[in-house]
A and B are shown apart, each in its own frame.
Chain A
Amino acid sequence: MKEQLERIRASALEALAQAKETSDLEALRVRILGKKGELTAVLKTMGKLSAEERPVMGQMANSVRAAIEEHLEQRRAELAAAALEAKLRAERLDVTVPGTAPELGHRHPMNIALDEVKDIAVGMGFRILEGPEVELAEYNFTKLNTEEGHPARDWSDTFYIRDDSSVLLRTQTSPMQIRAMEAIKTPPIRVLAPGRVFRKDEVDATHSPMFHQIEGLVIDKGVTMADLKGTLETFVKGLYGEDCVVRFRPHHFPFTEPSCELDVQCFKCHGEGCPTCKGEGWIELLGAGMVHPKVLETCGIDPEVYSGFAFGIGLERMAMRRFQISDLRLIFENDVRFLAQF
């Protein structure tokens, strides 16, 4: 009997190793462990054994059954894993086929550039202001210390709405300085006013009768030109990176004194002079200055107590440089092949 059990065990284990399908395993189980199975048949003959032999053989029979069951389970798991593996392989996809998510729309590059400026400004405590685009000449010029007869007021340069030149399309965002001071009245004032402006320029690669400016204004007690420099440097480094080099040079605006322009060193040639910077080594970025005392007085702010600075950035030029857009017309043409690039 012992030999019988050993034989069953050996043949069962071999058959298990040969099994290819889970159905083979089931057949095997029935053949050996089932009610009419080989092992069961052997166990049925147990009664014929002596009382001494019976427990020994019983134990042996149980261990054979356990071993076969264990191997059976193990083999079942192996086959299941192999079957799953085969199934998954069969489900293979071409992962290079494009995804099916709906296509996102694109932000206009001008507004991408504007958002960057606004984010930096908000972080520095600036409020974002908006104001009228059809504007009074009083705000666009007079209160900005630009007297009657100034060339900027010419009908050849400015779009007018009224015969008496009193209403126009704003030529700059600077009237927002006046509107901010008149609205807020008591400093501190920190505002950023981006928006559309209009000048009578024919459309070409660098001109458009409508374009965008970003005006900044800071008024407080004891604001200095050193503060202007520090603030604008922070701005520019926020936009172009910590390692960009800036310089300030004197300029003239009717509503600031002293006035300046800020240049950044050409990113391509680092000041050597190249076609990008027209050989100058520097690229003009923005105009700025200390708010003219006359302008403060006009807005009811005492220049003996308060001072401040203002700055203006041309958004198109900034965005065009940022994205290396070669022709201003592309910006207002809004071709989807252009928009999709941003």
Chain B
Amino acid sequence: MNLSRKWLGEFVDISATDREYDEIMTIAGQKVETTTRLDAEIRNVRVGRVLSIVRHENSDHMWVCMLDVGEAEPVQIVTGAQNVRQGDLVPVAMHNSWLAGGKHITKGKLRGVESNGMLCSIQELGLTPNDFPDACTDGIWILNDEGAQVGQDINQVMGTDDSVVEFEITNNRSDCYSLIGLARETAAAFNVPLRLHEPVVKGGGPGVLPELLDVETPADDLCRRYTARMVRNVKIAPSPKWMRQRLRAAGIRPINNIVDITNYVMVEYGQPMHAFDYRYVRGGKIIVRRAGEDKTLTTLDGTVRNLTPDMLVIADETKPVGLAGVMGGENSEIKADTADVVFESANFDGTSIRKTALALGMRTDASAKFEKNIDPMLTLPAVNRACELVELLGAGEVVDGVIDILNEIPEPFELPLEPEKINRLLGTDIPEADMIDYLRREQIEVRDGMIQVPSWRPDLRRMADIAEEVARFYGYNEIPTTLMRGLTTRGGYSESQKLEALAGNAARAMGYSEIITYSFVSPTGLDRIRVPADDPRRNQIRILNPLGEDTSVMRTAILPSMLDILARNFAHHNKEAKLYEIGKIYLPVEGRELPEEPKRLVLGSYGTGDFYAIKGAVEEILTAVNAQKPVFEAVTDDPSYHPGRCAAVIIGGKRIGLVGQVHPLAAKNYEIDGDVYAAELDFTELMTVLAPEKTFKPLPKFPPTSRDLAVVCREEIEAGRLEACITAAGGRLLRSVELFDIYRGAGILPGYKSAAFSLVFRAEDRTLTDGDIEPAMDQILNALEKELGAVRR
């Protein structure tokens, strides 16, 4: 909502500067977005009188003028315009002045004659013929009839010696989408009187209203009130300068007196109005109904609108003549020869208007106001104000009487003023008398302890609402600041949150950086990681109104999100990337409205490391969260991973995740060259396989004994199986088994490999001897040979 400070002056007297005004209004609850000085653009342009005008000696179309601009010496200016006469008042852009569009004027010579500025047209001053209908459009703007004074700043003539304040109006305050509403707020914030004006209509126009016009509202659920008056023998003309200037400041283009009046009243009262040309209202009948069978309507802007049956229209006997609350129809538009006018001042259902405007993509000033559900009590004063202005402008003759259909009018509402409860809620000690005074400043009366809530404040319905009004004018910043009392609560993180923090720390310690990716993804991500058509991950939650296909489903796998980011980094020529995310996936559950949202940890890298690097990272993360010891089993059939370089992470028999090289075809789908590694862990499941809390175990008293063991076995025997076999056969003295080398080549038959382990033996109660260790080594070797065909090298 834009407010002209000059226009505001009609209702309240305040002397605050723009900055002070913004500050005080903002603090009182009407937040000012920006304030714009209207005279900021046109600078150093003055009214001048042409003292003399002679032909330029070197030109057959230019003139040399001497101008009185209110200074001691006249100013000489060369002009090419042909409409300037001696004695005329004209806008003079002085040396070092600024015109519309940032045009800078300085003195210079035109064909050898000094010119100390420029004479201006309305266009050069940023005006249109709508603003000054009498102004010359192809020459200098002659100000003789504009009441201008020599030497005056041109902004005063243009009416741009004004500031426009843009307010952010909150949803609950539809009353503030009007000048009167903001004047009321201003009066309350500054504690100054509010000058309101009761419209007075003389009337007496020819005819009897009920005989001329009949209004029906079959769609009474969408039309709370319909008020109409008629004006006859209308003389369409431009509206007066003061009205045009105020509309311009409000950001509305002046059209003609009747249309301008409807807009003027809309700004002033916040009540949208419409004017119909009576001759096109067939049968003198206005019917407020749903569009029903009517399929189209051409609106004022000349666009054919496709109607749906539910849209509310204003119709005559035969056809729609307006889109209720949004825009009038072209077929009943006010024209230069319009003689009789119907003023509509109605109150429509906000939701219906909003939906219509949205469906047709035409949010107008009117629909924007209606969608906030404005005060139904406004229609009558607004239509009377319009008629009063008609009479004031001499634009026509107002017919006596008003058509006023009241379908749904709010009951008067009162509620008790409860000072004690208000103070208890606010934590203040404000006297009752002060509270009553704050409300009085807002034009809200308290009678016998009961607050008489005005019709324009449907947001005031209970104590808390009144508390806010009291707080606003007491001052939010005057309320003390205290800390919460009462029972203390134990704050903290949940177990899973703590686990996430530990996992994240471990991932970063190993060089993986954290990413945040969208929860909604493209369904093609699953194709790119080569997920089969019948995979359960294909059962994704679809967003019915997505921004685009790329963000149309809730992810059921986190790997594509990671690969997207790796791919983007690759495309940005980043040599390497190591990334992780802990994020949700969204799994639909049969028979439930909401999906499960388990968390996944995903690691991803390219340009660095290998399978064992990312496997090591997974192992460290599992250690960091104190998971039980994992087992890694080769997975050869996951289509997203390299069939020879992928392992399932198994803990306590549960498959917790996967780690491996991303299948080269999947990497290719993301256009990443080179090996890509990834790991996915089910974080929610991981919570269920944690090791018991750590406790201290005494340090060993006796030294360990180490033995290295190298065995030769067939290539396909995995190191993990050798290790498991050694561990199982080693007996209770064997404390650890660690693989330290795998060798293939000279001395080893093709198809075989040598694996070397470091074994550590230790007893709790004595130092071990060869006699203790040899039997264990024999058992190990026996088992290796028998079970895996592995023999000592």
Contacts and interface: CB of A to CB of B under 8 A. Distances in A.
Interface in B187-207: none
A224 B427 contact: yes
B386 to A, nearest CB: 29
A257 B464 CA distance: 6
B509 A104 contact: yes
Nearest to B564: A334
Contact of B546 (A159, A230, A337): A159
Given A122-B492, A161-B542, A307 B425 contact: yes
Given A248-B477, A339-B514, A220 B486 contact: yes
Contacts of A121: 491
B156 interface: no
A122 to B, nearest CB: 4
A128 B490 CA distance: 11
B633 interface: no
Interface stretch (A34-42, A53-61, A131-139): A131-139
Interface in A13-66: none
Interface in A302-342: 307, 331-337, 339-340
B144 interface: no
Contacts of A300: none
Interface string B372-383: 000000000000
A166 B593 contact: yes
A134 B484 contact: no
Contacts, number: 249
Contact of A226 (B34, B482, B568): B482
A111 B484 contact: no
Contacts of A218: 484
B510 to A, nearest CB: 7
Given A222-B424, A222-B485, A332-B517, A159 B31 contact: no
Given A105-B507, A279-B34, A336-B579, A159 B545 contact: yes
A169 B426 CA distance: 34
Nearest to B579: A334
B505 to A, nearest CB: 9
A278 B32 CA distance: 12
A243 interface: no
Contacts of B554: 134
A161 B464 contact: no
Interface in A140-162: 149, 151, 154-156, 159-162
A71 interface: no
B492 A339 contact: no
Interface stretch (A73-81, A82-90, A92-100, A196-204): A196-204
Interface in B712-727: none
A91 interface: no
A234 B512 contact: no
Contact of A155 (B488, B508, B545, B577): B545
A128 B497 contact: yes
A125 B511 contact: no
A259 B29 CA distance: 10
A233 B668 CA distance: 52
A108 B426 contact: no
A251 B31 contact: yes
B508 A225 contact: no
B354 interface: yes
A334 B516 contact: yes
A167 B512 contact: no
B128 interface: no
A260 B172 CA distance: 14
B514 A125 contact: no
Nearest to B29: A250
Contacts of A103: 511
B515 interface: yes
A7 interface: no
A107 B516 CA distance: 10
A112 B597 CA distance: 24
Contacts of B512: 105
Given A105-B507, A224-B482, A250-B29, A161 B543 contact: yes
Most buried by B among A225, A230, A278: A225
A128 B492 CA distance: 6
A227 interface: yes
A109 to B, nearest CB: 9
B26 interface: yes
Interface string B396-437: 000000000000000000000000000011111000000000
B170 interface: yes
Nearest to B574: A336
B489 interface: yes
Interface stretch (B96-104, B467-475, B643-651, B751-759): B467-475
A307 B485 CA distance: 12
27 contacts: A104-B508, A105-B507, A105-B508, A105-B509, A111-B516, A122-B492, A125-B488, A132-B594, A155-B545, A159-B546, A160-B545, A190-B489, A198-B520, A220-B486, A222-B424, A224-B425, A225-B479, A226-B481, A229-B482, A230-B481, A231-B484, A258-B426, A258-B472, A290-B464, A332-B518, A335-B569, A339-B515
Given A155-B545, A224-B427, A249-B29, 8 more contacts: A105-B578, A161-B543, A169-B543, A188-B486, A222-B424, A230-B480, A250-B29, A258-B426
Which 9 A-B pairs give the minimum distances between C-beta atoms?
A: A226-B427, A224-B427, A250-B29, A258-B468, A252-B170, A105-B508, A149-B351, A334-B515, A257-B464
Interface of B: 26-29, 31, 34, 170-173, 350-351, 354, 358, 371, 424-428, 462-465, 467-468, 471-472, 476-477, 479-494, 497, 504, 507-520, 541-547, 551, 554, 565, 568-569, 572, 574, 576-580, 584, 586, 593-595, 597
